[in-house]
Amino acid sequence: MVTTVIINADDYGLTSAVSKGIREAFLNGILTSTTVMASGLTLETDLPLLFKECPAIGVGAHLTLTTLKPVLSADKIPSLVNEHGHFNRLGDLIAIAYHLNEAELYAEWKAQIDSLLAKGLELDHLDSHHSAGIISEKTVRVMIRLAGEYGLPVRKPQSSHRNKAMDAYAIVELDKHGIRYPKHFNGDFSDNKGTLESLITIFTELKTGTTEIMSHPGYVDVDLENISSMVAPRLTELNSLCSAEAKQLIIDQHIQLATFGEVFKD
């Protein structure tokens, strides 16, 4: 039995070290896909390198509602930003999630997608930073609306916020609107700090149908240390994805590596 696996790296463009690690995981490891942050700190310099070094990598939009600055000016989306004009931290976002203005959210996330398309990216899916796309019914509706308008599949809802009710709501809505997503999603690799042992466990316990494995490989720089709580594990993930053991297990388990674009061909 051949099992299909998408191995996606979140956060391309967040910092130069993160982007370098993602390219390394694709070029010398088993990574197949990445999702790009439209307002990433170093996206302008990182994108040309992605085009040059990794033309075959799958690319999605990593819709952002935490951590960074928005694409639109803060005065156009006041419900989405703090007093400094930046997105809120995750904990603060969760507290105000049901007070977000849905029209403002749609405008900002659409601007993020359009910004990436304007830079020459051919997007093959959508997901969201810190699982913001499934943080409330409003964010689910906006994610579904945009996925439908752009004809893109999405990451299967499995919230990092441990909100099973919201996950279930999102699945029902995705199915109702005919939005496609992989049959399975696995976030255990990053949850377990990117160890090779956790990756091996995932590979040996794969279920029938396509599985997306979420990852966060990267090198470490000062920008990352200043902006993210996930630092050292990124290097561990990178080493695991590039390991000889992981590559051999792909062969031994008859795993077919793929991108969203390859899985969801029209």
The residue with greater pLDDT, 102 or 265, is 102
In this prediction, residue 158 carries a pLDDT of 83
pLDDT at 18 over 80: yes
**Chain segment 74-92, per-residue pLDDT in tens:** 999 999 999 999 999 998 9
**Chain segment 140-181, per-residue pLDDT in tens:** 999 999 999 999 999 999 866 678 889 999 999 999 999 999
What is this structure's pTM? 0.96
**Of 189, 127, 212, 133, residue with least CA distance to 166:** 133
**Of 67, 103, 109, 112, residue with least CA distance to 87:** 67
Quote the percentage of the chain above a pLDDT of 90. 90
- Residues 6 or more apart whose CB falls under 8 angstroms from that of 162 comprise none
pLDDT at 266 over 80: no
Under 8 Å between Cβ of 194 and 236: yes
In this prediction, residue 43 carries a pLDDT of 97
**Chain segment 186-241, per-residue pLDDT in tens:** 999 999 899 999 999 999 999 999 999 999 999 999 999 999 989 999 999 999 99
| Partners of residue 88 on adjacent β-strands | 66
The mean pLDDT of 94-118, rounded to a whole number, is 96
What letter would DSSP give residue 12? E
Q: Give the DSSP H or E segment for 127.
A: strand 126-128
Give me the phi and psi of 11, to 5 degrees please.
Answer: 85, 20
Alpha carbons 14 and 2: distance in angstroms, whole number: 34
User: CA neighbours within 13 Å on the CB side: how many for 184?
Assistant: 18
| Partners of residue 46 on adjacent β-strands | none
Please report the domains of the chain, with CATH numbers, ordered by start residue.
3-263 (3.20.20.370)
Report how far Cα 121 is from the mean position of its chain's Cα atoms.
15
Alpha carbons 128 and 156: distance in angstroms, whole number: 11
